[in-house]
A = this chain, B = another copy of it.
Amino acid sequence: MSLLVVGTVALDSVKTPFGEARDVLGGSATYFSVAASYFTNVHLVAVVGRDFPEEHLRFLRSKEIDLAGLQTLDGKTFRWRGEYGFQLNEAHTLETQLNVLQSFKPVLPPSYQTSDMVFLGNIDPVLQQEVLRQVKRPRLVACDTMNFWIEGKRDDLKQTLKLVDIVIINDGEARELAGEANLVKAAKTILSNGPKTLIIKRGEYGVLMFNEKTVFAAPAYPLEAVFDPTGAGDSFAGGFMGHLTQRGDLSEAGIRQAVVFGSVMASFNVESFSLDRLRGLTRREIDDRYREFGRLTSFEHLQGV
């Protein structure tokens, strides 16, 4: 099975209470692809400018990420500059330079068009649909979005939601999308718009997954040192979709297991700036942390009480 992702490739400048990084590799599709690369081959659809450093391309290729769908346009690469306070929970965006992202029209190379699994990263919902139109009968489609599109392109976003199986957003986005403060009620509203599954990311508090019948709660891994939360949500999505693609088990059990692999990848990602921690992971480290999630959450079921 093959996995396609569309999203951003960016150069990020990030400041946290623990340090600062300038013009480092970032972007939703980047975090997603690198996290997913530990599980499966990834077809990347995104755009960069002429200034995008060759070393980053070499790194992505070294992870066997297929860059046939990565366009290079005249102009500068998309840049994001943000800051985190001591809570490390929410990024304060200081500057966004769209640059080449403004003229991005995703075009899928023929080899991408039969992808089994598709992740529509956080871009204009109109572009998300354009990508989807170019893929032949994928087995599973998931999408992300953000407040900017919820507020500015609500109708287009609703159209995207009708076309996807799984929505992966954070709690604030879920509340805003549904217009409802209570997450359980918000989930019902969102699921009534099309998707079968809703995954709500809650940062250091983990993830809640809703479908028509059940709820699954996965904690975040308790870390002693969180350096940079940038890309945690995209790393989650990459681990999640990567595992689903690798195993091909789309049952509830399979999807729950994928949620935990997503949480594993997010937990590694926040341990360093940029993609530094994701760069040199081993599959063994990933599986070990998956097992730790098991120990973290397990309790004995009710017997003879």
Contacts and interface: CB of A to CB of B under 8 A. Distances in A.
Interface of A: 86-87, 181-185, 202, 205-206, 208, 214-219, 222-226, 247, 253, 256-257, 259-260, 287, 290-291, 294-302, 305
A126 B301 CA distance: 39
Nearest to A294: B301
B291 A305 contact: no
Contacts of A302: 287, 290-291, 294
A295 B256 contact: no
A205 B152 CA distance: 30
A291 B303 CA distance: 10
Contact of A214 (B206, B215, B216, B295): B295
B219 A296 contact: no
Contacts of A222: 183-184, 208, 215, 217
Q: How many copies does the complex hold?
A: 2
11 contacts: A87-B181, A182-B226, A184-B223, A216-B299, A218-B299, A257-B299, A259-B299, A287-B302, A291-B301, A294-B302, A297-B297
B299 A256 contact: yes
Nearest to A220: B217
Nearest to A182: B224
A216 to B, nearest CB: 7
A297 B223 CA distance: 20
A260 B300 CA distance: 10
Contacts of A301: 291, 294
B223 A296 contact: no
Contacts of A206: 205, 217, 219
A84 to B, nearest CB: 12
Contacts of A181: 86-87
A256 B87 CA distance: 28
Contacts of A224: 182, 184-185
Given A202-B205, A208-B222, A296 B216 contact: yes
